[in-house]
Amino acid sequence: MCGIVGFIGRKPAAPLLLEGLSKLEYRGYDSAGIALVGEKGIEIYKSKGRLQILRDKIQDGKDLPQTVGIGHTRWATHGKPSDENSHPHQSNDGNFAVVHNGIIENYAGLKKELQAEGFTFLSETDTEVVAHLLQKYYKGDFMLAVRQTVARLEGAYALGILCADFPNQIIAVRRASPLIVGLSQDANFIASDIPAVLSHTRRFLQLEDGEMARLTSGGVELFDADGRLVEKQELKVSWDVDSAEKGGYAHFMIKEIMEQPDVIRKTVSPRLKDGKVVLDGVKLTEEQLRKLKKLYIVACGSAYHVGMVGKYVIEKMTRIPVEVDLSSEFRYRDPIVDKDSLVVIISQSGETADTLEALKNAKAKGARILSIVNVVGSSIARESEDVLYTWAGPEICVATTKAYSTQLAMMYILAAYIAQTLQTVPQAQLDAFLDDLLRLPEQIAEVLKLAPKLQQMAQRYAYLEHAYYIGRNVDYAVSLEASLKLKEISYIHSEAYAAGELKHGPISLIEDGTFVVGLACCERLAEKMLSNVKEVKARGAEVLVVTNDHVKVHADEADHILLVPYTNEMMSGSLEVVVMQMLAYYIALARKCDIDKPRNLAKSVTVE
């Protein structure tokens, strides 16, 4: 997720902006830049790569005297990492400079409109339309131009804006993307996160959606979307800098778990327009889809578990056969793929070694490659004909949470896109599916409210030796990820089984006190699933059942029953997995494990 910093005061701004950006490096980024405004107008300095490259380029800003500026670290979403795509972006007349976090969903239409009016674009980003809209609407009133510009924007944004005609002001505005204002006696700040400016102030104002802030060195004014002044109480922060990077959370893992409603919204909402799935940039044609004989999903680890869910969803929605392969097995088994095969590659980093080699193998055999990745410009993205970016932002904890969930959302989107194109489900069914998809973020927010109950439950199960997860259909696929989360961060031996396989061996492992988690959100299979729950309960297991209110579980059938909101059974895994992530986290916390950096694991596996 990108980082924003702004400063206005009496000291040179450049060193303070660089310092603030360095405090946001933990968020991940691929380029950095600053814009400064003074008597000679706006000056911009930016570069692809690490912040140190920019520092070296401007000698740490020591020779730049301007006392007003904005800075940015970019995590690419629209356009590859490059100097041209780096922020800040400037209007054609040089009068405005903009930094932006978020996604402008309607940028393509705005860009076409502006190009028709003679504006020239120098980047591939969605952000540049903001700078040119400001120029278009500016008639001498800086604030009015900002209000008219943001009225045209759809999507999520946090903006920091400079105007050369008003060198003693910064205007900031937000919608669905975080932005705070920092206050001090002789200077004021904007930032996307508190750590950027915590060493200079502990007094903050939190901007709400639609609100704008006008900063000068002497004060801050807040306005609503209609330009009316807003009074707001200051927030005083007592965190230290290390805690602030985690947003006040003890670990990045729980912070990233809590971010899931927001990141799933960012993944889903730009791709659903007027009741249809729109995948901008995907060149896969209807003719190619109709010729498909088989679809392969290839991935490692948690991404492989996403593929397992994807198989159930895509086959049900499209009736195309789906095979799910571990990358390390696919690349060595001489897979039978050809020009009528679509290979879907899933990787958070886009650099996973086995997955990249599997991609090359399939591509050499003539298969079409569609990749689902989080990192723009990564090796897997570059090697693919089509790419769907999850836009989850950087994930710091080694054990994935929000990256898994956004990949899962992409499975739903891909299934719906193919079904829409091939008309394999009735329109009413597709409409209901998309409505359920749009509701996922708010439903996940409801699931997150179970955190206190799960933390209490974790105390009881913190020192387990073994744990087992069972489910059927999508519930089984999710149980694989649930089991992996527990073993990754708590080091408890854990296994997942298809519930129908219990009598074929695994039930011999059940004895008094064995912890079993039963995922039971698949309503049509609930009776069979609860029969399996009774089997393990009768042999002495302590059972946690995760289900919804459409499935009736009697109190004597389980030791614990947790309810998640009801949704389409194909999407229920998105709710179940959040419960399982939190349970694993709180068990690991009780065991005093190194949660963000579990032993022997790496975030991106770039060797065999």
Joined together, the tokens standing for residue 285 give 């044609």
Strands 515-519 and 466-471 come out as parallel
Q: Annotated catalytic, 2?
A: yes
**DSSP secondary structure letters along 299-327:** E-HHHHHHHHHHHHHHHHHH---EEEEEH
Position 1 pLDDT exceeds 60 = no
User: pLDDT at position 608, please?
Assistant: 62
The more confidently predicted of residues 414 and 225 is: 414
Mean pLDDT rounded to a whole number for the chain: 94
Torsion sign, CA atoms 78, 82, 86, 89: negative
Non-local CB neighbours of 252 within 8 Å, separated by 6+ positions: 246, 396, 397, 596
Joined together, the tokens standing for residue 251 give 């670990």
According to DSSP, residue 460 is labeled: H
In angstroms, rounded to a whole number, what is the distance separating the alpha carbons of residues 181 and 191?
7
User: pLDDT at position 263, please?
Assistant: 93
Q: How far apart are the first and last CA of the chain?
A: 29
Position 606 pLDDT exceeds 60 = no
Cross-strand pairs, 550: none
Of the residues 80, 534, 597, 603, only one is catalytic, namely 603
Region 321-325: mean pLDDT is: 97
In angstroms, rounded to a whole number, what is the distance separating the alpha carbons of residues 393 and 396?
10
- Per domain, the residue ranges of the chain are 3-245, 254-446, 449-590
Position 498 pLDDT exceeds 70 = yes
pLDDT cut 70: percent of the chain above it: 99
Region 391-404: mean pLDDT is: 90
Region 538-557: mean pLDDT is: 93
**Burial (CB count <10 Å: 0-12, 13-18, 19+), residue 78:** buried
Q: Annotated catalytic, 603?
A: yes
In angstroms, rounded to a whole number, what is the distance separating the alpha carbons of residues 256 and 268?
18
Do 395 and 348 contact (CB within 8 A), yes or no? yes
Do 252 and 258 contact (CB within 8 A), yes or no? no
Position 240 pLDDT exceeds 80 = no
CATH code assigned to 254-446: 3.40.50.10490
Torsion sign, CA atoms 205, 206, 211, 212: positive
The more confidently predicted of residues 334 and 313 is: 313
Position 246 pLDDT exceeds 80 = yes
Query: Do 3-245 and 254-446 have matching folds?
Result: no
Torsion sign, CA atoms 384, 390, 393, 398: negative
256-270, 372-386, 401-415, 456-470 — which is least confidently predicted?
372-386
In angstroms, rounded to a whole number, what is the distance separating the alpha carbons of residues 172 and 303?
37
Residue type at 450? L
Does CATH place domain 3-245 in 3.60.20.10? Answer: yes
In angstroms, rounded to a whole number, what is the distance separating the alpha carbons of residues 109 and 394?
28
Provide the CATH topology of domain 449-590.
Rossmann fold (3.40.50)
In angstroms, rounded to a whole number, what is the distance separating the alpha carbons of residues 584 and 486?
5
In angstroms, rounded to a whole number, what is the distance separating the alpha carbons of residues 577 and 404?
9
SS3 for 380-441 is HHHHCCEEEECCCCCCCCCCCCHHHHHHHHHHHHHHHHHHHHHCCCCHHHHHHHHHHHHHHH
Helices (H) and strands (E) in the chain, counts: 19, 27
Tell me the per-residue pLDDT of 84-141, one tens digit each, with 9 for 90 and over: 999 999 999 999 999 999 889 899 999 999 999 999 999 999 999 999 999 999 999 9
pLDDT band at 206 (very low <50, low <70, confident <90, very high): confident
In angstroms, rounded to a whole number, what is the distance separating the alpha carbons of residues 571 and 438?
11
Of the residues 2, 163, 521, 593, only one is catalytic, namely 2
176-185, 231-240, 313-322, 325-334 — which is least confidently predicted?
231-240
pLDDT band at 602 (very low <50, low <70, confident <90, very high): confident
**Burial (CB count <10 Å: 0-12, 13-18, 19+), residue 52:** middle
Non-local CB neighbours of 376 within 8 Å, separated by 6+ positions: 30, 75, 76, 77, 79, 80, 81, 389
User: pLDDT at position 496, please?
Assistant: 97
Position 604 pLDDT exceeds 70 = no
What pTM was computed for the model?
0.81
Alpha helices in 139-272 (DSSP H): 142-150, 241-245, 252-258, 260-268
Helix (H, G, I), strand (E, B), or coil: what is residue 340?
Answer: coil
Helix (H, G, I), strand (E, B), or coil: what is residue 258?
Answer: helix
Position 607 pLDDT exceeds 60 = no
In angstroms, rounded to a whole number, what is the distance separating the alpha carbons of residues 78 and 66?
30
Which residue bears the tokens 């089997």?
535
